[in-house]
Amino acid sequence: MQPNVIFVLLDGARNDRLDSSKDFSALKKEGTLLDNVTTALPYTIGAINAIFSGLYGKDNGVDAYYKMFRLKDSVKILSEIFHENNYFTACDLLSNKILTKRGFDVHQFHDEYVDNLCVRHPDFIRKCIKESKDKPLFLFLYFSGIHTVTVSDVLKKYNWDDTNFYEKKEKNLSKYDEVFNTAGIYAKIIKDTLNEIGISKKTILIFFSDHGTGVGERFGERNYGSFTYEETIRSFYLFIGHNITKNQHTSKLRESIDLFPTILDLAGIKNNYDGPGKTIAPYLLGKEKLKEKNYTFSETGALHGPYPSPKEPNVFCVKTP
């Protein structure tokens, strides 16, 4: 039987603040956590397109902020593959700029300043089950709460060169922990919803971050996308499922493009993917030890900051263990 697959993005979640939420700390015990996953690009549009294609930005066409609608026609993304394999595919995103509607039966957006995602997304899951007509689900849920606070409390209040922001890192981090706590509450509600509906045992649930969020560690970086330092390129993945090893945690170096072949393997979908991502499905299922990558790659081109380059990437890094 084909499993449901539900991706839940916690936009801007830092890997080093997961335990600041008691709800998320509890969720970690229900699955396998990888907390050292290098994002291909430390901003949402680039990161999500890399994850859904299993390719770096230079290969899928989306390697800059201003290339948001340039995903190559020749690149097949997860939603298309799952749709071809008789899945009901749906997403609820922050905007239509995040990801193409290709392959989605339902491709909708929410208002981050109005909609209560702790209510909207459980209702969305239930609605999709009814509309799926017994097909397995492939869902992508976007939690925008951290993004909303970052925009309101940081980007709209401070210019990139305002020293007042960088001089209060501890206060910024405390504020960040407050908003991540809401992300933990949301994550628990999503997991509880699957339990209540009765589909947990036949669902692969993945909580993940697209990138981290700076709190003033580097002058010129108010949140993310300007540089490729640890606080913004290091993301995480928490896999929860009936056959996935519980209470397992690794800090071995991996990269976000590994998710593409991994989720296809977990869902039992054959594909001719030959990209740079490498599956970790055997590790998640307790069949193999996890191999650490010798290096990972990340790149960016900022909208703001000291070296803006929204049309082409201009900051690159290679990360080693």
Query: Which pLDDT value is given to residue 166?
Result: 97
Beta bridge pairs of residue 239: 32, 206
Burial of 257 (0-12, 13-18, 19+ CB in 10 A): buried
Radius of gyration (Cα) for the chain, nearest Å?
18
Give tens-digit pLDDT for 108-133: 999 999 999 999 999 999 999 999 99
CB 6 within 8 A of CB 203: yes
Which residues fall within 8 angstroms of residue 130, CB to CB, at 6 or more apart? none
**Mean pLDDT of the region 248-270:** 98
pLDDT > 90? residue 152: no
Give tens-digit pLDDT for 52-98: 999 999 999 999 999 999 999 999 999 999 999 999 999 999 999 99
Residue 240 φ then ψ, to 5°:
-130, 130
CATH node for 4-319: 3.40.720.10
> CA 69, CA 96: separation in Å to the nearest integer?
10
Strands (E), the chain: 4-10, 32-38, 88-93, 106-109, 137-143, 203-208, 234-240, 248-250, 254-255, 296-300, 315-319
Helical axes 169-197 vs 117-131, angle rounded to 10°: 30
**Mean pLDDT of the region 277-293:** 98
Give tens-digit pLDDT for 222-238: 999 999 999 999 999 99
The pairing of beta strand 254-255 with beta strand 248-250:
unpaired
In the chain, where the domains are located: 4-319
How many angstroms separate the Cα of 195 from the Cα of each of 56, 199, 205?
A: 35, 6, 12
- Number of other CB atoms surrounding residue 49 within 10 Å: 27
Query: Which pLDDT value is given to residue 167?
Result: 97
How many angstroms separate the Cα of 269 from the Cα of each of 78, 81, 135?
A: 11, 9, 15
pTM here is 0.97
Give tens-digit pLDDT for 10-48: 999 999 999 999 999 999 999 999 999 999 999 999 999
Residue bearing tokens 């509906």: 197
